[in-house]
Amino acid sequence: MKSTPVIAIDGPSASGKGTVAQAVAAELGFHYLDSGALYRIVGLAVVRAGGNLENESEVLSILLKIHIKFEQAQVLLNGADVSDAIRAEPISAAASKVGAHARVRHALLQCQRDFRQQPGLVADGRDMASVVFPDAILKIYLTASAEARAERRYKQLIGKGFNASIAALLQEIRLRDQRDSERAAAPLQKCADAVEVDTTHLSVAQSIARVMALYRALPR
Ligand code: DC
């Protein structure tokens, strides 16, 4: 439904998009779309099926056979809870690889647009403002230095009981930035009409407050 407002929050991996988007959605009573989770589920499904992440047709045929469901805080793949499994670092890289395929992105488009329901939606990803919701009422490009993002990812992974090394994470983040921004299909980019919010020196609360202030300042 076009009249349903969308706040699009795009940015590189581990920039805090998810945390900020979820908090803004909760504060406004809006729905929340974690589009990265979709690409992560597809990546996980391909890895589990022993498929080739670089092969577009193979990824697409696996995608067309799986069943994806978001249930409150849980993400289900064929009915099984994969909320933690999709956050493992190898699956981050797998998600980035499957996201490079144009036909895979196209197959996931409608599923993302279906999240647009009253009273509104906060959507986080790489191409929310440019492709999925180009008519979003507020477009945010949330970013932070690669070092700050590696440190955040490190804390997140350790907190979930995964092993991690900051140096390896920094290298992986740089690689993923490069892959996500240089791909031909819907690359990560800051749209001309997006507002950049750099969270390198901002706390989570300050980042949320910045986005809320931008939303409240919109003309009614
Ligand atoms: O936001 P995230 O780190 O969970 O995303 C994981 C990967 O999924 C990311 O490296 C690229 C891909 N992705 C994408 O291509 N488009 C999106 N809208 C969201 C994620």
What per-residue confidence (pLDDT) applies to 53?
98
Peptide bond between residue 119 and the one before it cis (omega within 30 degrees of 0): yes
Is the CB of 95 within 6 Å of ligand 1? yes
Burial of 14 (0-12, 13-18, 19+ CB in 10 A): buried
| Pair of tokens at residue 32 | 């929340």
What per-residue confidence (pLDDT) applies to 14?
87
Is the CB of 125 within 6 Å of ligand 1? yes
What per-residue confidence (pLDDT) applies to 43?
98
- Ligand 1 centroid–CA 3 distance in Å is 26
What per-residue confidence (pLDDT) applies to 77?
97
Mutate which of 39, 82, 89 for ligand 1 pocket (most atoms within 8 A of beta carbon): 39
- Ligand 1 centroid–CA 220 distance in Å is 32
N-terminal to C-terminal alpha carbon distance within the chain: 19
Spatial separation of the C-alpha atoms in residues 57 and 35, rounded to whole Å: 21
Is the CB of 96 within 6 Å of ligand 1? yes
- Ligand 1 centroid–CA 125 distance in Å is 6
Q: What is the DSSP letter of 114?
A: T
Spatial separation of the C-alpha atoms in residues 93 and 52, rounded to whole Å: 13
Count CB neighbours of 134 within 10 A. Answer: 14
Mutate which of 6, 35, 97, 130 for ligand 1 pocket (most atoms within 8 A of beta carbon): 35
H-run or E-run covering 24:
helix 17-28
pTM, two decimal places: 0.93
Spatial separation of the C-alpha atoms in residues 92 and 1, rounded to whole Å: 31
Burial of 110 (0-12, 13-18, 19+ CB in 10 A): exposed
Nearest-CA residue for atom 4 of ligand 1: 36
Is the CB of 133 within 6 Å of ligand 1? no
Per-residue pLDDT of the chain (220 residues; tens, 9 = 90+): 458 999 999 999 889 999 999 999 999 999 999 999 999 999 999 999 999 999 999 999 999 999 999 998 899 999 999 999 998 889 999 999 999 999 999 999 999 999 999 999 999 999 999 999 999 999 999 999 999 999 998 998 899 888 899 999 999 999 989 998 999 998 988 999 999 999 999 999 999 999 999 999 999 8
